[in-house]
């Protein structure tokens, strides 16, 4: 993955700085994405509206790699509209990723890494997905709005 372009988010009315000084580097966000245990994924459908659920996954160069049941609500929502928002659990160290989801072929090594991360769960090769980032936002509660950063991929 190429390094995303960092800029200031356009959150009107929140006092976001215009100068680049104080912005977070992508490595800061990526460290939290790699270390996270749970990833909240928000989907939507015209019939059922918005929906969010936590999933397990691995953050790799491609994005968030995860799996879920073919008949689950998130599977049906993603089949209709592959755009999702991913949010980590922390409101103190915020990372939000806007992505498109597509099917993904996982290697045995990736299945092993997933199983190691979520021991004693044993992952299997099967239907996997990757959410590749289009845009991301990051900030810390302690330094907001001075460190609010947008990343475009």
- pTM of structure: 0.92
Question: How high is the pLDDT of residue 1?
Answer: 65
Q: Burial level of 76, CB count in 10 A (0-12/13-18/19+)?
A: middle
Question: How high is the pLDDT of residue 41?
Answer: 96
Q: Which residues contact 152 (CB under 8 A, 6 or more apart)?
A: 4, 5, 7, 134, 135
Question: How high is the pLDDT of residue 48?
Answer: 82
**Distance, CA of 6 to CA of 21 (rounded, Å):** 11
Distances (CA, A) of 99 to 35, 58, 85, 116, 146: 19, 15, 6, 25, 25
Per-run averaged pLDDT (10 residues), the chain, 153 residues = 90 91 97 96 89 94 86 90 96 97 88 90 79 97 96 97
Question: How high is the pLDDT of residue 49?
Answer: 86
User: How is residue 4 written in tokens?
Assistant: 């995303």
User: Which domains, and CATH codes, for the chain?
Assistant: 38-139 (2.30.110.10)
Question: How high is the pLDDT of residue 27?
Answer: 96
Q: Which residues contact 34 (CB under 8 A, 6 or more apart)?
A: 59
Question: How high is the pLDDT of residue 46?
Answer: 80
């Amino acid at each position: 993955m190429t390094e995303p372009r960092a800029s200031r988010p356009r959150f009107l009315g929140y006092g976001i700085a215009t100068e680049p000084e104080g912005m977070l580097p992508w490595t800061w966000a990526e460290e939290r994405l790699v270390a996270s245990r749970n990833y909240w994924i928000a989907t939507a459908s015209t019939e059922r509206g918005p929906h969010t659920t936590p999933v397990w996954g691995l953050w790799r160069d491609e994005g968030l790699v995860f799996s879920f049941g073919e008949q689950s609500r998130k599977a049906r929502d993603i089949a209709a509209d592959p755009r999702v928002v991913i949010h980590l659990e922390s409101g103190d160290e915020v990372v939000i990723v806007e992505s498109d989801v597509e099917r993904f072929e996982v290697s045995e090594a990736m299945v092993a890494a997933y199983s190691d991360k979520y021991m004693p769960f044993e992952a299997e090769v099967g239907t996997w997905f990757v959410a590749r980032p289009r845009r991301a936002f990051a900030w810390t509660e302690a330094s907001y709005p001075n460190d609010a950063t947008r990343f475009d991929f």
